[in-house]
A and B are shown apart, each in its own frame.
Chain A
């Protein structure tokens, strides 16, 4: 790790959306959690407040010394998991995974098992909370000429478990999933968190739907002015170009798109914040929703189920990119 290069400039702290939120006062901040605390024998006395972070990578982007702060914070999370009782929301999530293999229960039934070469991996939140998003992503993939399966055998990617330090459970999910994946040549996702986990932790070549979109023509199916909600893991985690494609594809399709400087601020839904600290998570979402309302847009377009869920809860109209486009032949 490269924490030794910290120059104590606090750029990470200034960039952190949780610290900048009135409900985020008790978060010790990225420098404290990632760099300072782990150096001391009393590190674990920092307690569960260290988990008050969405893993949005904003601190990492801000760091002039290129310190991989989110990774450093994850290491402390791992140590904390054994030392302090886990938060009720995180506990529930782990129980769900133990019981159903997913972080949330799901009554999704539109599985596709026809032995295609591509597996569409929608992820827990899509399957459990936003089945219409999964169906529209699947439909778009088909019309893009990508026939695919959706397999009930594919379980949680393990990312949420790693975020709460449950390394063992995450790696047994990984083993199960890799077995399922072995029947396919390509894995396509619609959740940036899953994509990041598959690429960075599993080390396999998965693609987010958005990354497959350039090169084809699309038509908008929505009216009115829209803004973007750029997912953190897509832009800062995986591939900054993918976020740019997203905008380019929408504009080409004829969506009336407004680019706001705040479009890539975290929605508050990631990193276990939503399950562990629902009030803070909602407060972050509310302040984003306020920004969008002030901009006078009809709603926002995103490419992440967590963004869709968290901003949607605050009453904003949020659609996935697959819900606003059709392919033009």
Chain B
């Protein structure tokens, strides 16, 4: 069996690992730190995505108990935790509605003084774009820095929430994300018990991104991927245009692993995937060509690894025999919030399907 080393456990790396394992590769996936995927809102724009790729992604979400709704080109809308409108094509069912089919009247529900959703602010922003919105607060004391997901495992709090939902005005209640992936079904239960349509505010840096990440991670485990989290690939060794082995560092230990192919899914400079130099972005491994695909030489948002269909190029511009890449580390990525997850999964799909090695 051939071994693929996947570097980076974000959306691109984890999804690619699943696809590679299914194609018969032995996959070792190494990653460290919270990925952008886990920091995202978990809503994505699937335009341009291969329908087969979407099918695979949908299958993973279906199996997790939090299905993806929407499609490659379906227009969906939701409300962010700041009250602004958010458009995408795919999301968890509790986050968005089909465009044009949205609520006319909304109660914005805050959890005590918790900063996750500020009802007065959000309701006034909603009114400014023409929605009839009112603020309401569930009386409870949850400290600002603590996680709602942990707080709402408590039945007493859930009961108080259900009462507030029953009392709420209007057809839809907007609330902050409360449930982890394991408990996602509770959102339906709340809807049933409270008698109102519920929507989660679209929120970055919290539970929704973590859920998205969890779906992929569970999928990778299921597919038999060996996951080395909390470890970093510090060096890749080459023989000509072939990568032969990698150094992996975890804690105070470093190990060397042999490989037949490597797929870099290390993300952008934000998550430490590309080096940020005075002159622009650079490859931390010192092996591959990084180029700016945008307008100016300092267009960091558009630069990253140069590639041909996901295959990396050496610093002199020749194609590598067994090195590939996907996601935010690639030059084509726009790295604009709202498009990143779609690009990451699409490019992972493409890279996996060009992965042939000598």
Contacts and interface: CB of A to CB of B under 8 A. Distances in A.
Contacts of B145: 13, 19, 25, 29
A25 B143 contact: yes
Interface size class of A (residues with CB under 8 A): 20 to 34
B146 A7 contact: no
Interface size class of B (residues with CB under 8 A): 20 to 34
Interface in B225-243: 228-232
Given A20-B147, A64-B270, A64-B272, A240 B231 contact: yes
Interface string B133-161: 00000000001011100100000000000
Contact of B272 (A9, A10, A66, A238): A66
B250 A241 contact: yes
Given A10-B205, A20-B150, A61 B252 contact: no
Interface in B183-231: 205-206, 228-231
Nearest to A26: B143
Interface string A58-75: 000111111000000000
B80 interface: no
Contact of A11 (B39, B147, B229): B39
24 contacts: A10-B205, A11-B33, A11-B34, A11-B205, A13-B145, A19-B145, A19-B146, A25-B146, A61-B33, A62-B34, A63-B34, A64-B33, A64-B35, A64-B270, A65-B272, A196-B252, A235-B251, A237-B251, A238-B251, A238-B253, A239-B250, A240-B228, A240-B250, A240-B251
A83 B87 CA distance: 52
Contact of A235 (B143, B146, B230, B232): B230
Nearest to B214: A261
A11 B34 CA distance: 7
Given A64-B35, A199-B252, A236 B272 contact: no
A226 B186 CA distance: 30
Interface in B273-320: none
B255 interface: yes
A62 B33 contact: yes
A92 interface: no
A14 interface: yes
A185 interface: no
Interface in B63-90: none
A66 B33 contact: yes
Interface in A1-40: 7, 9-11, 13-15, 19-20, 22, 25, 29
User: Which secondary structure dominates where chain A touches chain B?
Assistant: helix
A249 B38 CA distance: 32
B251 A9 contact: no
B284 to A, nearest CB: 11
Contacts of A9: 34, 39, 205
A196 B143 CA distance: 34
Given A14-B206, A66-B272, A241 B33 contact: no
B36 interface: yes
A64 B34 contact: yes
Contacts of B205: 9-11, 14
Contacts of A25: 143, 145-146
Contact of B39 (A64, A66, A196, A200): A64
A62 B271 CA distance: 11
B32 interface: yes
A54 B120 CA distance: 38
A61 B230 CA distance: 6
Interface of B: 32-36, 38-39, 143, 145-147, 150, 205-206, 228-232, 250-253, 255, 270-272
Contacts of B252: 196, 199-200, 237-239
A239 B272 contact: no
Interface string A236-257: 1111110000000000000000
A171 to B, nearest CB: 20
A241 B39 CA distance: 26
Q: Which 5 A-B pairs have the closest CB atoms?
A: A11-B34, A240-B250, A64-B33, A64-B271, A239-B253
Contacts of A200: 252
Nearest to B35: A64
Contacts of B206: 14
A9 B205 CA distance: 7
Most buried by A among B143, B145, B271: B145
Contacts of B232: 66
A121 B270 CA distance: 42
Nearest to B150: A20
Most buried by B among A13, A66, A240: A240
Contacts of A61: 32-33, 229-230
Contacts of B270: 7, 64-65
Contacts of A14: 147, 205-206
Interface in A141-163: none
A83 B265 CA distance: 46
B253 A66 contact: no
Contacts of B271: 64-65
B62 to A, nearest CB: 21
Nearest to B207: A14
A238 B252 CA distance: 5
Contacts of B253: 238-241
Contacts of A236: 230, 251
Nearest to A14: B147
